[in-house]
Amino acid sequence: MDSNIFFKKKNIKLKQLFPTQKSTTNFKVKDIKPLHLAEKDEITFFDSTKYKNQAIKTKASACITTNKLAKYLPKNLEKIVVLNVLYELARITKLIYPTADIDYPDLLLRKPRKTSYNKVKFGNNVLIGKNVSIGKNSIIGSNSIIESNVEIGKECIIGSNVILKNSLVGNNVVIQDNCKIGQKGFGFIPLNKKNIKFPHIGKVRINNDVEIASGCTIDRGSIDDTVIGSNTYLDNQVHVAHNVQIDSNCMIAGQVGFAGSTKIGKNVSIGGQAGISGHLNIGNNVKIGGGSGVIKDIEDNKIVMGYPAVSLKEFLKIHKKNNE
């Protein structure tokens, strides 16, 4: 079985992907994965010292990287040294997963068959793709679209006008009206006249007991997954970019935005309209004030506020100074 249930995969060998590289090995590429998840016969990529600790331990069979970074990688691994890692990654991902670079609408939708979902309640005009599984006692509101291969657990309440694609949803999850989950995120290699669209082959995983309010957008992962941890609650109009991983028991207020690949710990609360930059690590039990702009990592248990966000103590000091 293919490891990716959402995107059609082509069987291509390593040397076909990189015909000009002097690679010593060759294998049929099973998948493309991040450093810490890649296994035998899979390709990974390594483009920043930030991920050095993961690079050292990767189990991938080949890795796209730069001349500078190659030394951190294990010896028994094919190093594909290139000038632009993300460009090469986009290029081969497009070859292996040709339809993941654009959000092609699912054209296999149909009305749900009573026989396939006999313990699920549906509103009017619900559209369901192929191989969709929905757990018992779940309810799907009117005009909602569940695209092919999506999995929804039991006791879930999905509102009206919701679109779910490329997603795995746990049990007892509430998703309110008008949420759009699993679409392709904002990823491309800028070119002057016509950008190269980065194929996003990841998915969205929504764990048990999550509640997502109206009008949220949650993009699927690019190579890794986007994750909403169990018992985490999102208010209206929250934007979650690709690869963001929010851990359990978090409280995210309205209109908060997360840029790509940021990781949020457990029990984090974030006030309305705060923005979290990309590729950050936010610790456990952190509190971020409403309207803040977070541009660097935050350790466990900190309270921060402001733009750029600083500790609450510092924030109050600055504003006291301003008012003198």
Residue 253 in tokens? 């207020």
Looking at beta carbons only, is 17 or 145 nearer to a copy of itself?
145
Stretch that binds a copy of itself, among 16-24, 40-48, 64-72, 179-187 (CB under 8 A): 179-187
Closest distance to a copy of itself from the beta carbon of 228 (Å): 14
Stretch that binds a copy of itself, among 18-26, 41-49, 57-65, 158-166 (CB under 8 A): 158-166
| Under 8 Å between Cβ of 282 and 301 | no
The residues in 181-220 that bind a copy of itself, with binding defined as CB under 8 A, are 183-186, 188, 190, 192-195, 197, 209, 211, 213-215, 217, 219
CA 73 to chain centre: 25
| Angstrom distance (rounded) from CA 165 to CA 148 | 7
The residues in 11-30 that bind a copy of itself, with binding defined as CB under 8 A, are none
Looking at beta carbons only, is 245 or 255 nearer to a copy of itself?
255
Phi then psi dihedrals of residue 71, to 5 deg: -65, -25
Looking at beta carbons only, is 62 or 140 nearer to a copy of itself?
140
Residue 138 touches a copy of itself, criterion: CB under 8 A: no
The residues in 90-129 that bind a copy of itself, with binding defined as CB under 8 A, are 102-107, 109-110, 121, 123-125, 127
Closest distance to a copy of itself from the beta carbon of 145 (Å): 6
Contacts of 3 (CB under 8 A, 6+ apart): 30, 31
The residue type found at 156 is C
Q: Residue 56: count other Cβ atoms within 10 Å of its Cβ.
A: 11
The residues in 31-90 that bind a copy of itself, with binding defined as CB under 8 A, are none
Which of 93, 176, 222, 243: binder of a copy of itself (CB under 8 A)? Answer: 176
| Angstrom distance (rounded) from CA 74 to CA 40 | 13
| Angstrom distance (rounded) from CA 103 to CA 304 | 37
Q: Which residues pair with 310 in a beta bridge?
A: 305
Question: Is 242 one of the annotated active-site residues of the chain?
Answer: yes
| Under 8 Å between Cβ of 285 and 266 | yes
Closest distance to a copy of itself from the beta carbon of 154 (Å): 15
Looking at beta carbons only, is 23 or 293 nearer to a copy of itself?
293
Looking at beta carbons only, is 76 or 322 nearer to a copy of itself?
322
Compose the 287-316 pattern: x for residues touching a copy of itself by CB under 8 A, - for all others. ---xx-x-x----------xxx-x---x--
Number of residues this chain uses to bind a copy of itself (CB under 8 A): 82
Compose the 232-271 pattern: x for residues touching a copy of itself by CB under 8 A, - for all others. -x-xxx-x-x-------x-x-xxx-x-x------------
| Under 8 Å between Cβ of 185 and 84 | no
Closest distance to a copy of itself from the beta carbon of 255 (Å): 5
| Under 8 Å between Cβ of 29 and 14 | yes
The residue type found at 58 is T
Q: Which helix (H) or strand (E) holds 31?
A: strand 31-32
Query: Starting from the edge strand earliest in sequence, which strands make up the sheet with 62-65, in order?
Result: 31-32, 42-45, 62-65, 78-81
DSSP H helical ranges for the chain:
14-17, 52-56, 85-96, 312-322
Looking at beta carbons only, is 37 or 312 nearer to a copy of itself?
312
Residue among 200, 239, 242, 319 flagged as catalytic: 242
Residue 157 touches a copy of itself, criterion: CB under 8 A: yes
Active site residues: 242
